[in-house]
């Protein structure tokens, strides 16, 4: 089995160090741009607020990795995600198809290749993990993405969740606080041909105001509270998913919705265990 050589030796070393830190992330308890629109006859002030046009740049799927380990991916989706004992299965066919498509093994370090399609999170170095496939599917389904969606992800990690979102959404903006992970995630996504994903290294607490507002925001690290800037950058009608709770303890996956009139509603959907959101969130 041949896979992409995008796990440099430094990442392997970091991974080894990361092994000392126990825990999992994202585990269940159980463009090409179109020309800008013609300027309408409005005042300059209003023109300045015309939102970015979201145009779907379909992943080409030309990379050989998309044709590797297909049977394992198909089995992963049908046995762990589309069917699930003691938890809600993922029903959205588009999400299931996206997960059948994305070559998860490319996002998993060499030493864990054998478990790339297993029902569990895996270490990716720096004490971080790639989430359990089921959780990725479940969170993606909650976002209700379509080709018009602009998505913000906090916690790029391996880039796997960003790739799944990129299969469904128009554009994905992903922020990672650990430079080496952000850079390797960006490189991996680019090599696989995801032209509709942009990764930046920063503290995701502040969101990415220049690119917002977003139809969907997904936070893949646990925080004690929902960062205010993320709520602000959520479009009316938009949805935000975040694990809330303290590090390594019981956390709850929360779905927040912003109504057309800006009203916020939220509900807990599942018990989860994610790595902590660091930086400003912990002050």
Check residue 154 for interaction with ligand SAH (CB under 6 A): yes
Check residue 275 for interaction with ligand SAH (CB under 6 A): yes
**What is the DSSP-derived secondary structure letter of residue 262?**
S
**How far, in whole angstroms, is CA 79 from its chain's centroid?**
22
CB of 138 to ligand SAH, least distance (A): 13
Q: Where are the alpha helices (DSSP H) in the chain?
A: 9-18, 44-47, 70-76, 93-101, 133-143, 160-168, 179-191, 228-232
Q: Which of 15, 96, 177, 270 binds ligand SAH (CB under 6 A)?
A: 177
Check residue 196 for interaction with ligand SAH (CB under 6 A): no
Q: How far apart are CA 273 and CA 118, in angstroms?
A: 17
Say which residues have a Cβ less than 8 Å from residue 200's Cβ, sequence separation at least 6.
Answer: 173, 174, 175, 176, 182, 208
List the catalytic residue out of 32, 131, 158, 246. 131
For 129, the token pair is 């993990």
CB of 9 to ligand SAH, least distance (A): 20
Choices 55-63, 87-95, 126-134, 256-264; region in contact with ligand SAH by CB under 6 A: 126-134
Q: Which of 80, 123, 220, 233 binds ligand SAH (CB under 6 A)?
A: 220
For 187, the token pair is 């490189």
Q: In this complex, which beta carbon is closest to ligand SAH, that of residue 55 or of residue 279?
A: 279
Cα dihedral angle (173, 176, 181, 185), rounded to 10 degrees? Answer: -10
CB of 34 to ligand SAH, least distance (A): 29
**DSSP bridge partners of 122:** 130
Q: How far apart are CA 178 and CA 38, in angstroms?
A: 40
Say which residues have a Cβ less than 8 Å from residue 187's Cβ, sequence separation at least 6.
Answer: 6
Q: Where are the alpha helices (DSSP H) in 170-235?
A: 179-191, 228-232
Check residue 252 for interaction with ligand SAH (CB under 6 A): no
Q: How far apart are CA 112 and CA 94, in angstroms?
A: 27
Q: How far apart are CA 199 and CA 153, in angstroms?
A: 9
Q: Which of 204, 207, 213, 243 binds ligand SAH (CB under 6 A)?
A: 204
Q: In this complex, which beta carbon is closest to ligand SAH, that of residue 133 or of residue 213?
A: 133
Check residue 92 for interaction with ligand SAH (CB under 6 A): no
Q: In this complex, which beta carbon is closest to ligand SAH, that of residue 137 or of residue 213?
A: 137
Choices 29-37, 40-48, 78-86, 124-132; region in contact with ligand SAH by CB under 6 A: 124-132
Q: Which of 55, 118, 269, 278 binds ligand SAH (CB under 6 A)?
A: 278
Q: Which of 132, 140, 158, 196 binds ligand SAH (CB under 6 A)?
A: 158
Check residue 132 for interaction with ligand SAH (CB under 6 A): no
Q: Is 149 a catalytic residue?
A: no
Residues acting as catalytic residues: 131
Contact positions vs ligand SAH (CB under 6 A): 25-26, 128-131, 154-155, 157-158, 160-161, 175-178, 181, 203-205, 220-221, 275, 277-279, 281
């Amino acid at each position: 089995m041949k896979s992409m050589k995008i796990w440099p030796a430094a990442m392997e070393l970091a991974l080894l160090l990361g092994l000392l830190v126990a825990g999992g992330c994202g585990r269940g308890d159980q463009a090409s741009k179109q020309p800008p629109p013609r300027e309408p006859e409005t005042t300059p002030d209003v023109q300045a607020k015309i939102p970015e046009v979201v145009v779907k740049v379909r992943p080409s799927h030309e990379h050989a990795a998309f044709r590797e380990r297909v049977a394992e991916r198909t089995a992963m989706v049908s046995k762990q995600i589309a069917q699930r004992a003691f938890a809600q299965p993922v029903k959205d066919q588009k999400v299931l198809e996206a997960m059948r498509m994305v070559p998860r093994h490319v996002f998993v370090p060499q030493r864990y290749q054998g478990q790339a399609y297993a029902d569990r999170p895996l270490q990716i170095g720096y004490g971080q993990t790639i989430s359990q496939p089921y959780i990725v599917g479940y969170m993606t389904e909650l976002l209700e993405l379509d080709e018009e969606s602009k998505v913000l992800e906090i916690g790029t990690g391996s880039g796997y969740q960003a790739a799944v979102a990129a299969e469904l959404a128009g554009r994905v903006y992903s922020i990672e606080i650990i430079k080496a992970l952000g850079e390797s995630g960006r490189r991996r996504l680019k090599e696989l041909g995801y032209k509709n994903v942009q990764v930046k290294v920063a503290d995701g607490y502040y969101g990415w105001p220049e690119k917002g507002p977003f139809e969907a925001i997904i936070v893949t690290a646990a925080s004690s509270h929902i960062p205010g800037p993320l709520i602000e950058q959520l479009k009316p009608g938009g949805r935000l998913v975040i694990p809330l709770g303290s590090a390594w303890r019981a956390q709850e996956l929360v779905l927040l919705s912003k109504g057309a009139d800006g009203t916020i509603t939220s509900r807990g959907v599942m018990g989860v265990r994610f790595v902590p959101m660091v930086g400003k969130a912990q002050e």
